[in-house]
């Protein structure tokens, strides 16, 4: 018999979220789908709430923290923006993003995670755009528009393909270039 790991349970949770939403994240569904006992579940998780917290934490780390940390290794606006686009489109899973946002509408734990994730992502975008403009209000506005595009594009059915997403984001970035007042470091040769 194959041993289950915590990641096996979390991966199955994401599959369930995509197919049936948070209501399907029951211990019974998880054990039935994985053909494991409840004892196996409780070996890895203290409770259903503990499972939810670990599932949301894993998603936060993979879809937010890791992407931000890797992108921060770049030092220029163009470098950060390119790395962010590469990583976020590579890891993009609109079905999970939509399912977790729907879950956050009904569940206080999921809502707290979603609020924190949105804040982390938005703050990172604001820091990135601050490299491009010396005007904090512009950085704030552009970050808001960029993040709303990211979230909104995932709500479309069918989802945008990678090429279309990149094309539209490119047009949006060109629009930002027209709007932005360059920061002093952007103006210097």
Whether 55 and 13 have beta carbons less than 8 Å apart is answered as yes
> What share of the chain has pLDDT > 70, as a percent?
94
Residue 45 is inside which H or E element, if any? none
Q: Write the DSSP string, 13-40.
A: HHHHHHHH-GGG--HHHHHHHHT--HHH
Whether 27 and 48 have beta carbons less than 8 Å apart is answered as yes
pLDDT digits (tens, 9 = 90+) for 5-37: 999 999 999 999 999 999 999 999 999 999 999
What tokens were used for 8? 């096996």
Residue 18 buriedness (CB in 10 A; 0-12 / 13-18 / 19+): middle
Residue 95 buriedness (CB in 10 A; 0-12 / 13-18 / 19+): middle
pLDDT digits (tens, 9 = 90+) for 104-155: 999 999 999 999 999 999 999 999 999 999 899 999 999 999 999 999 998 9
Give Dmax (Cα) for the chain: 65
pLDDT digits (tens, 9 = 90+) for 44-56: 999 999 999 999 9
Residue 139 buriedness (CB in 10 A; 0-12 / 13-18 / 19+): buried
Tell me whether the omega of the peptide bond preceding residue 130 falls within 30 degrees of 0, making it cis. no
Residues 6 or more apart in contact with residue 58 via CB below 8 angstroms: 10
Q: Residue 21: which of 73, 95, 79 has the closest Cα?
A: 95
């Amino acid at each position: 018999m194959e041993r289950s790991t915590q990641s096996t349970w979390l991966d199955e949770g994401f599959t369930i979220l995509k197919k049936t939403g948070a209501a399907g994240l029951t211990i019974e569904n998880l054990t039935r789908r994985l053909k494991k006992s409840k004892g196996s579940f409780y070996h890895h998780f203290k409770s259903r709430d503990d499972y939810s917290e670990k599932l949301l934490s894993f998603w936060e780390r993979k879809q937010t923290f890791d992407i931000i940390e890797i992108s921060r290794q770049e030092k220029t606006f163009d470098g950060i923006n390119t790395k962010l686009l590469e990583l976020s489109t590579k890891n993009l899973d609109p079905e999970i993003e939509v399912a977790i946002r729907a879950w956050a509408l009904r569940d206080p734990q999921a809502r707290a995670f979603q609020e924190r994730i949105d804040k982390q992502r938005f703050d990172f975008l604001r820091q990135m755009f601050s490299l491009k403009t010396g005007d904090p209000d512009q950085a704030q506005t552009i970050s808001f528009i960029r993040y709303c595009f990211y979230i909104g594009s995932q709500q479309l059915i069918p989802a945008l393909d990678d090429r279309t997403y990149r094309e539209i984001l490119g047009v949006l970035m060109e629009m930002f270039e027209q709007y932005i007042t360059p920061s002093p470091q952007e103006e210097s040769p």
